[in-house]
Structure formats: structure tokens, C-alpha cells
Amino acid sequence: MRLSQMLFVTLRDDPADAEIPSHKLLVRAGYIRRIGSGIYTYLPLMWRVLQKISQIVREEMNATGAQECLLPQLQPSDLWKESGRWDTYTKAEGIMFALTDRREQDLALGPTHEEVITTVARDMIRSYRQLPTHLYQIQTKFRDEIRPRFGLMRGREFIMKDGYSFHANEESLKATYQEVHTAYSNILRRSGLAFRTVQADSGAIGGSASQEFMVLAEAGEDEVLYTEDAEYAANVEKAISLPIDAEPSPFTTYEKRETPGTDTIEKLCNVLKCSPTQVVKNVLYEIIYDNGTTVLLLVSIRGDQEVNDIKLQNELTKLAPQYKAKTILAMTVPDAESQSNWAAKSLPLGYIAPDINDVYIDRKKQVDGKFLRLVDKTAIGLKNFVTGANESGYHVIGANWVEQFKKPEIVVDIRKAKVGDRAVHNPQEKLESARGIEVGHIFQLGIKYSQAMRANYTTQEGKEKPLWMGCYGLGVSRLAQAAVEQCYDKDGIIWPVAMAPYHAIVCILNINDDKQVEVAEKLYTELNKAGVETLLDDREERAGFKFKDADLVGIPYRIVTGKSLVHGKVEVVKRANKEACEVAIEEVVSTLKNWIDQALK
Ligand code: ATP
Ligand code: MG
């Protein structure tokens, strides 16, 4: 391609809405253009990058025996109601674009395709002889993200590869899951990226085991906790650890103390001269379940620990049947205004004890009259602890479970693991932290969807059984940008060879020099013929301007027709390290082919 004929516009300044380097660079180098919030045009250079990634994905997926297909983006609501996810996706997470057609039928634009594929499987799979089977697609997904940002990293319209496998039993599911794990690792390795596989929370998709593939980069929205011995790595949402030991309590007798102005743990510990590990803090939440029921939740946790919202949400979803609900719609720490919806009298916020009386809750319709009390494991082992006295300005010290506070019925692990904690598998190992960009997520779904949607098969013995299912997502457009986030310098993008839109760019130093033009044209034609994807910068611009653009766009190899032509040579510069050398004109094609082959190994 000749730059003179391309719709090619680079910008000298960073776009105002871009916060992270990869976003700035992709816009400045002419890869993407913003059309609306979270909506982008993939310009020709970007489209080539996306095609390259898609091709690597295809090769690795096909190698596992998976087959490519294309599922509809427009999805009838009936399917989502059958799986029980319509409300979760349109109300709770609210991430699905839903619409009503001219026949008053509800539809949605696909954020993911478990429902569609399970419908296909239900219709087509009859017998164990058809199993296992694995389909995938590469397609645009739609999600009404709360905070679309960072360009292609979190779009509202983006490209995903998603795959779904069906099995007769769990062993078969596990085998395919492992194959996909290998395929994804190959994809990222071939793409030239540094990544880490971590244990992950399954979120609204559901199911049991799941792992994420994280491209390591400072701008990553995810925090990964891992140990140096490589035995453990998890998304912070899912991570477990051993908290530091609690310091023995200095308080030996139970007493109520006046502690004015101590509505935070820090202030309290200053006044009482104790450690936060000796405090049981009680955090109040307001939960709204999908059937409209409001539940007031009191979480008791050790004072130095934080609640992991994802773990808490998972516990609350497990408890949903107790409230005749399926899922939670909202979970907030109530402010004064929202308290007026359910409080019978004003609560001693900041001074609440684990046994705060249910009379604080106004008994009315849609509000459960009893506090749901969850106690984190860190709080349950404490002796002679400090906690609120249910009276503003007062705490109790030297308190104990059973003696002063009823033994909690529901003990859970909802604390946030953090850097510096000891690892569970080996307390000698400490958790370390890294930032990551989640580019892939694989799940063993089990029989959740097939059971809900009655997708069964007949076993060898003639019995009807639900299909075992796995699902595997990879963010193609996010991966492209993640690569930039990992590979750039002050001058621009440094594409790994495997996903660069072109391998080489021939820059004509002086467009008015016939000899230069002739050699450049010849190299341009020969390189492309030999399979080295090459651009020709034949614009009537100064050399410095052309070099700046070439660096910004990030093409791996730049060939310059300049002074050395008199010796029958051209200058070749490697973008990654700016290393320059002179190569005889007739050796350019073989040299580049060689370098590219090496880079793609
Ligand atoms: P996140 O936690 O980042 O929102 P997710 O858990 O919702 O991701 P999945 O539903 O597992 O993501 O989707 C599979 C893959 O699709 C993700 O690993 C990610 O690479 C990509 N992806 C998800 N949401 C977006 C988005 N809004 N924009 C771009 N890519 C996305
Ligand atoms: Mg998401």
C-alpha cells in the first residue's frame, strides 16, 4: 500500500479523552477513531491488526478441533428468560442493550452467547455419539458498560472470540478446558506478549472453575496477586490468603467505654491505644434482591481487613433462595437518605455492634424485618475484642463471642486478600501484586445452562442427562490494544511482528530523486511479492516527518533509500531498538524474510 493513496492521518497531539498511552497512540497513529462513548471505527491499519490476531486465534482454535461458526447478534428475550439471566443482564448488571421490535417482542444485542448456543445444542445434540463438540466465533459484542473507557479496552461494541463446548461428563469438559488453556497460551505467546494465567471469579456467567489470561501492564484495570514461587496467582476478586496474625488484646475485662468521635477504626485505635486487629468492625449494607425485597446486612470483620465485594455478592447470591429471590440487583452502603426507606429510628452509625437489634428496621412490605448477619473468618477467632456498643460515642472492650455476643450462625470468607499477606499453600510465601489487562477468560460452566434450558443428551445406557458445558472468551480488540500498552516508547507504537499491520515500510528520503524512487519502487514490489507486507511512503513530505510517522505507526522494519544508494545499499532500521544497518539492495528481501521468520517462531 502506498501512503499517498491511503486515508492516513496522524496527529501530533494526544486526544483529550485518552488517559492511557495505548489509547493515545492508537488514535494519534491513525488506527482508530471515536464515534461515540465506547464506540470506535477500526481504520484500515487497525483492521489489519485485528485480522492478524483473528488468524492466530483461528489457527490455534482449529488445532484443538473446535469449529468456527457465526451466531446471531440479535437475541430473543425468551432464551434469556429460560436461562434466568434476562433480569440480571437488563436490570442488575444492566449491561445488555435490550430493545422491543414492531411486534412488541423483546430482543437484545448479544453481550455473550451461552443462551443461543445452548438452544442450538438442545435442538441438535441427541446422543453421546455427537460429543464432545466445540464451536467458536469471532464477532462484535455489545455491552452497555457502566464506564466505557481507555479506547478499545472497554468498549460498548467490541470484538470477541467466544467458544462453547459440550460434553457427556465432567472429565471430558476438563480435557477440553485444558486444551483451550494451551491454545490461549499459544495465542498470547505467538502474539509476543508477556502474560499470566490467574484464578478468577466466575461472575454472572456462573459455573465452577475459571481462569483469566492477563496481559501484564501498569494501566491494567485488574489487580493480580501472585507468589514468587509461581504456585499461586489469582485475580484480587478471587484471591485467598492468610491474614497477618491478630495482636493479643490488652483488654481482659468486658467494659463499656466512652469513645467520642471515633466513628472510624483509625480514630478508635488512637483513642483506645489498641491494634485494628483487636477490633470487630460492623459494616452495614442495603441489599435489594431481584424480587424487590430489601435486606439489611451487617458484616462483621476484623478491623484491619476490607470486604471483598465480589466474594460478598457471591455469598448473597447463595442466600437468595432464603428471600425467595434469584439474584441481587443492588448492594450499597446506605447513606442517611436511603435509611429513611427502612429505618424505624436512626442507627448509631460507626458504633454498631454485631448484635444490633432488629427493632431498628421498620417492618414494612418489601423490607425483611431481620438483619442478615455475616461474620468473616477473621472476626470469629478474636478474643477480648473491641466493638461498637450500639450507642453513638461508645464502644465495648474485652468482648467475646458466646459470652457477650451470640455465636454467629453464618461464618464466611469475604475478606479482600492483599499484597504482603501470607500465601495459603505456603505461609513462607508472601503475596505480590501486579497490574493486568484481562484479555481472556475460560470457564467450566458445568450443567448450569443445560439444566435451566433442558439441553439433554442420551447416554450409552439410554438415559437422558444434561450436557456438560464450557465457555471460552478472548477479547480480540482488547488484546490488540493491550499489545500497544505493553510495547511502546516515547516515539510511538512498537508492534510485535505477529500483529503488526505491515512488516516493513519503505521511506523515500527525497521524492524528487529519480534513483531513490526507482529503488524504493523496486523494493516495495519485490518485498510484497515475497510475502513481506510492505508500505511505501511516497508522500511529498520531508524525511524527518516521514520517520516520525513511521515510528509512531510502529512498523517493525523501516527501509530508507538515501545516501548509501551510491554504494548499492539502503538503510534498514529496526523499530524496536532503533538499530540501523546498511543492507545491499539485492539482499533486502532475504534479510527481512529471515528476520520476520525468526520473529514469528
Ligand atoms: P471485564 O471484567 O473486563 O469486564 P468480563 O469478565 O466482563 O471482562 P468476559 O465476559 O469474560 O469479560 O468476556 C471475555 C473477554 O472479552 C474478556 O476477557 C475481555 O478480553 C473481553 N471484553 C469484555 N468486555 C469488554 C469490553 N467492554 N471491551 C472490550 N473487550 C471486552
Ligand atoms: Mg465485563
Structural contact between residues 132 and 65, judged by C-beta atoms closer than 8 angstroms: no
Q: How far is the CA of 475 from the centre of ligand 1 (A)?
A: 6
- Which mutation among 26, 184, 478 tests ligand 1's pocket best, with the greatest number of atoms within 8 A of CB? 478
Question: Above pLDDT 70, what percent of the chain?
Answer: 99
Give the pLDDT confidence of 4-31 residue by residue, as tens digits.
999 999 999 999 999 999 999 999 999 9
Q: With bands split at pLDDT 50, 70 and 90, how would you rate the model's confidence at 207? A: low
For residues 381 and 374, give the distance between their C-alpha atoms in angstroms, rounded to a whole number. Answer: 14
Lowest-pLDDT range of 65-69, 90-94, 116-120, 489-493: 90-94
Q: Is 310 exposed, middle or buried (0-12, 13-18, 19+ CB in 10 A)?
A: middle
Give the pLDDT confidence of 508-567 residue by residue, as tens digits.
999 999 999 999 999 999 999 999 999 999 999 999 999 999 999 999 999 999 989 999
Residue 237 is predicted with a pLDDT of: 93
User: Whose alpha carbon is nearest atom 21 of ligand 1?
Assistant: 475
For residues 601 and 498, give the distance between their C-alpha atoms in angstroms, rounded to a whole number. Answer: 10
Structural contact between residues 167 and 470, judged by C-beta atoms closer than 8 angstroms: yes
Q: Is 227 left (phi over 0), alpha (psi -120 to 50) or beta?
A: beta
Number of the ligand closest to the Cα of 221: 1
Residue 431 is predicted with a pLDDT of: 96
Residue 363 is predicted with a pLDDT of: 82
What are the residues facing 158 on neighbouring strands? 141
Q: How far is the CA of 55 from the centre of ligand 1 (A)?
A: 20
Residue 76: asked if its preceding bond is cis (omega within 30°), the reply is no
What are the residues facing 583 on neighbouring strands? 570
pLDDT tops 80 at residue 594: yes
Give the pLDDT confidence of 346-392 residue by residue, as tens digits.
899 999 999 999 999 998 889 999 999 999 999 999 999 999 999 99
Evaluated on CA atoms 371, 375, 379, 382, the torsion sign reads positive
Question: Which numbered atom of ligand 1 lies nearest the CA of 473?
Answer: 14
Give the pLDDT confidence of 301-347 residue by residue, as tens digits.
999 999 999 999 999 999 999 999 988 889 999 987 888 889 999 89
User: Whose alpha carbon is nearest atom 18 of ligand 1?
Assistant: 440
User: Whose alpha carbon is nearest atom 4 of ligand 1?
Assistant: 154
Mean pLDDT of the chain: 95
CB neighbours of 402 closer than 8 A, spacing ≥ 6? Answer: none
With CA atoms as reference, report the closest residue to 120 among 103, 100, 137: 137
Q: Quick one: average pLDDT of 151-167? A: 98
Q: Quick one: average pLDDT of 591-595? A: 98
Q: Is 315 exposed, middle or buried (0-12, 13-18, 19+ CB in 10 A)?
A: middle
Structural contact between residues 45 and 499, judged by C-beta atoms closer than 8 angstroms: no
For residues 124 and 120, give the distance between their C-alpha atoms in angstroms, rounded to a whole number. Answer: 6
Q: Exposed e or buried b for every residue in 143-155, given b needs 16+ CB within 10 A?
A: bbbeebbbbbbbb
Residue 109 is predicted with a pLDDT of: 98
Q: How far is the CA of 108 from the centre of ligand 2 (A)?
A: 17
Q: How far is the CA of 68 from the centre of ligand 1 (A)?
A: 20
Q: Where are the domains of the chain?
A: 15-217+435-485, 255-412, 502-599
User: Whose alpha carbon is nearest atom 1 of ligand 1?
Assistant: 438
pLDDT tops 70 at residue 485: yes
With CA atoms as reference, report the closest residue to 145 among 182, 95, 194, 101: 95
For residues 334 and 357, give the distance between their C-alpha atoms in angstroms, rounded to a whole number. Answer: 17
Residue 503 CA, chain-centre distance (Å), reads 30
Residue 89 is predicted with a pLDDT of: 92
Rg of the Cα atoms in the chain:
30
Q: Exposed e or buried b for every residue in 408-437, given b needs 16+ CB within 10 A?
A: beeebebbbbbeebbbbeeeebebeebebb
For residues 31 and 25, give the distance between their C-alpha atoms in angstroms, rounded to a whole number. Answer: 8
Residue 90 amino acid letter: T
Set of cell numbers at residue 39: 464506540
Topology of the domain comprising 502-599? Rossmann fold (3.40.50)
Give the pLDDT confidence of 41-54 residue by residue, as tens digits.
999 999 999 999 99
Question: Which numbered atom of ligand 1 lies nearest the CA of 148?
Answer: 27
pLDDT tops 70 at residue 206: no
Topology of the domain comprising 255-412? YbaK protein (3.90.960)
What are the residues facing 161 on neighbouring strands? 138, 474
CATH homologous superfamily, domain 15-217+435-485: Bira Bifunctional Protein; Domain 2 (3.30.930.10)
For residues 164 and 67, give the distance between their C-alpha atoms in angstroms, rounded to a whole number. Answer: 10
Q: How far is the CA of 324 from the centre of ligand 2 (A)?
A: 27
- Which mutation among 441, 444, 471, 479 tests ligand 1's pocket best, with the greatest number of atoms within 8 A of CB? 441
Structural contact between residues 88 and 204, judged by C-beta atoms closer than 8 angstroms: yes
Question: Which numbered atom of ligand 1 lies nearest the CA of 160?
Answer: 16
User: Whose alpha carbon is nearest atom 25 of ligand 1?
Assistant: 154
What are the residues facing 75 on neighbouring strands? 108
Residue 114 amino acid letter: E
Residue 364 is predicted with a pLDDT of: 83
Residues at CB less than 6 angstroms from ligand 1:
112, 143, 145, 154-155, 158, 160, 203, 438-441, 473, 475, 477-478
Give the pLDDT confidence of 90-140 residue by residue, as tens digits.
987 789 999 999 999 999 999 999 999 999 999 999 999 999 999 999 999
Residue 118 is predicted with a pLDDT of: 96
Number of the ligand closest to the Cα of 442: 1
Number of the ligand closest to the Cα of 143: 1
Q: Quick one: average pLDDT of 439-454? A: 94
DSSP 130: G
Give the pLDDT confidence of 221-253 residue by residue, as tens digits.
999 999 999 999 999 999 999 998 999 999 999
Number of the ligand closest to the Cα of 94: 2
User: Whose alpha carbon is nearest atom 12 of ligand 1?
Assistant: 441
Residue 204 is predicted with a pLDDT of: 59
Question: Which numbered atom of ligand 1 lies nearest the CA of 475?
Answer: 20
